[in-house]
Structures are given as structure tokens and as C-alpha cells.
Structure 1
Amino acid sequence: MTMFARALVGALCVAVAGPAFAQDDVQTFNAFAVVNANGTIVRSAEKQVVVAASLSGPLFIETDEGPQQAGRVSCALSSKIDQASRKTSASGGCTFTAGDGATAWGEWDCAGYELVGCRGTFKLTGGTARFAGATGESTLVWRPTVHELKKQLDGTTLDNASGIVLWRDFKLKGK
């Protein structure tokens, strides 16, 4: 990975020194986060539930030499699940935080199936410090792996899960 590419990947949290990148420069890469998700499940119709959750964990950028830890990511999630078909749709936002405190954030949406996960789009919408003005987009994939459900007295259910969030073919453009 060139110093130029490292500077671009830095816009999603790798604290690597490198030259500034020009407005027309676009870098494509893959990233993933191993996350813990904590949320609440609420019945919203006879055969529908809504999940409100937060996901967080370490962020990794895929390089030719293997995954490189790049900082942390925190995401908010709102999901509707049709219990008859098991289809789900979700949306939310994420904040990426680099070791030096610079941040980037974006919004996403996806569709899929309960317990399997979903696929959709992610759009970088801004950032702070060295990431101010950066834009980009990718395919987003959420794959939960383990669920621990706890029924509450008020009828809601707490959901603690773990899984992986993938950002595929992330196209990042400088400010």
C-alpha cells in the first residue's frame, strides 16, 4: 500500500501520516468491524418488531499484508422485522474515530433477513480535523453471529449480539 493510499485510508481512521489528497483522487478499499450490539426489541404490530440498537467495536482496513487495525466505529441501528417472512430493513449512522481523535461519519441502510443480516449502502457524510470535507460510499453488510435475548417485564426484549460489519468497495474522495 503506497503512502498516498494510506493517507486516503486514514480518512476512515488509520492515523498514518501522508500527503494531502486532491479533490479528484479516489481510493477504493475494504474495511470491517467486529462489533458488539446492544438494543431493545419492541413489538410494533401483530407480526412486526422494531429493534433500536447500538453497535461498536474495533475497525480494520484490509491491506495486502492482512487486516490493519484503524481505530473504532460506533453505529446506531433502527430495524423493522416482519416476523411472517423474516424480512428486515434497517438504517442508521456510524462514527469512525482515529487514534488521533479525528472523526468521520456517515449514514447507511440495508435489507435482508432476521438472524442472517442485511446488505445495503453506506454514504460518508462528513468529518472533523483532517477528515473534514471527505466523501465516499460503499456497500455495507451486517452479519450478526450470536444473539442473547432477555425478556423484560414491560414486554420488551433486550438483545445483546455480536457480529461483523463490512464496508465493501469503499470509494473515498478527498476534500
Structure 2
Amino acid sequence: MTVKRSYLIAAIAVLLMNLSPLQAAEQDTVQAVIPWEAEGRVFQVGPTALLFLGALEGIMYIESSRGELHEAFVMCPIVQELDIGSGKTEAEGHCEITAGAEDVVFATMTCKGEVGSCEGSFKLTGGEGEFAGISGSGDLRVRSPIRTLVADMAAGAVLRVGAGLAAIKDLKYRIP
């Protein structure tokens, strides 16, 4: 093999490495906050146990590691179990995060804690458009006035939570 041909092969190899999908992947660690409102029904499922079936929605504000601020609409159907006797709660939900007509991220959220303050995880499970193949996760904390609102509610009553806050700390994501 000639020296000239060796340089050509090396140059092609460098070019291919720079065009590889690994180089094209986007990843970052962001901070996100979602001021939300929720609506659903509350059911008594035990002597001190309540079940909330509903959805929360709001605007997700995302700050990148470079300080850029982005926003997206969020809709999350959720199931939350509340034990009024012990003050414990746990919830899980699935979220659709819409940044544009064709740019959507899907996520799951789970948390446990005290009624009104729940901590857990927020996991990105896929996406469409510019977010196709996205994955990642971060720490979730949800705050709400639900303890006060569910006191003395009749089974099947409609509950509207006018304000709540979800914070997602250190949400690490990767888009292939």
C-alpha cells in the first residue's frame, strides 16, 4: 500500500467517524418546572383511602445547561392513591409533552410521599418528530393542595385542583 493511499484511507476513516450517529446524538441535562392544573374524580376505596383519577395539564418550562429557556404543553393522565389516615400518597401517570405540531415527547411519572408532596422519577420513553428515539430521566417532585381539597368529598365527586407544581431536577436526555 502506498503512502498516498494510506493517507486517503485515514482521511475517509476520520470523515466517517465525524458523520457517525454517535457524533450526531444530542444530549444534555436540563431543569424543568411545570405549573399545572388538574381535574378528575375522587373515589373512596377504603375507610381512609381515596383514589384520584384525572389529568394534569400545564406548560413545561425547560432550562438547558447553556441557560436557554424552552417551553412545551404537557398533558398527563394520572392515578393517585391517597391515605388520609396515614397521610401517605403515591401516584403514576403518562405524559404527552408537545413542543410543536409534530414534535412530541412521551414520558412516565411515578412518585410517593406525603399527601400534598410527592417525590419520584420522570422518565422519557420516546418521541416523534425532532424527538424521535429520545430517552432519559430525572428526579421529580410534585406539590399540590389536594389534602385540603379532598376533605369531606363525596365518592365520585369531581375535583378541580387550580394550582400545583412539578419540578424535574437534572433531567438527563439523549436523542439519537
TM over 0.5: yes
Q: Which has a greater percent of helix?
A: 2
Question: CA separation of 1:110/1:100 partners in 2, compared to 1, >3 Å: closer, same or farther?
Answer: same
Alignment partner, residue 31 of structure 1: 32
TM-score normalised by the chain length of structure 2: 0.76
Q: Give 1:73 deviation, angstroms.
A: 0.6
The share of aligned pairs that are identical, in percent, is 26
Does 1:165 pair with 2:148? no
Alignment partner, residue 90 of structure 2: 89
Alignment partner, residue 62 of structure 1: 63
Alignment partner, residue 98 of structure 1: 99
Q: Give 1:148 deviation, angstroms.
A: 5.1
Stretches of structure 1 that go unaligned for 5 or more consecutive residues are: 1-19
Q: Give 1:130 deviation, angstroms.
A: 1.1
Does 1:47 pair with 2:48? yes
Flag as ranges the 4+ runs of structure 1 deviating above 4 A.
20-25, 63-67, 145-152
Alignment partner, residue 14 of structure 1: none
Equivalent-residue separation in structure 1 for 2:30 and 2:65 (angstroms): 11
Question: CA separation of 1:75/1:136 partners in 2, compared to 1, >3 Å: closer, same or farther?
Answer: same
Q: Give 1:68 deviation, angstroms.
A: 3.0
Q: Give 1:62 deviation, angstroms.
A: 2.6
Question: CA separation of 1:65/1:27 partners in 2, compared to 1, >3 Å: closer, same or farther?
Answer: closer
Equivalent-residue separation in structure 2 for 1:145 and 1:47 (angstroms): 18
Question: CA separation of 1:145/1:44 partners in 2, compared to 1, >3 Å: closer, same or farther?
Answer: closer
Does 1:128 pair with 2:145? no
Deviations 1:2-53 (A, max 9, x none): xxxxxxxxxxxxxxxxxx9847653111011111100111011111111111
Question: CA separation of 1:106/1:63 partners in 2, compared to 1, >3 Å: closer, same or farther?
Answer: closer
Stretches of structure 2 that go unaligned for 5 or more consecutive residues are: 1-20
Please give the root-mean-square deviation of Cα atoms over the aligned residues, in Å: 2.6
Preserved CA contact (<8 Å) 1:78 1:90: yes
Q: Give 1:77 deviation, angstroms.
A: 1.1
SS in 2 for 1:133: coil
Q: Which has the larger radius of gyration?
A: 2
Deviations 1:137-174 (A, max 9, x none): 0111111147656945xx32221112111111000112
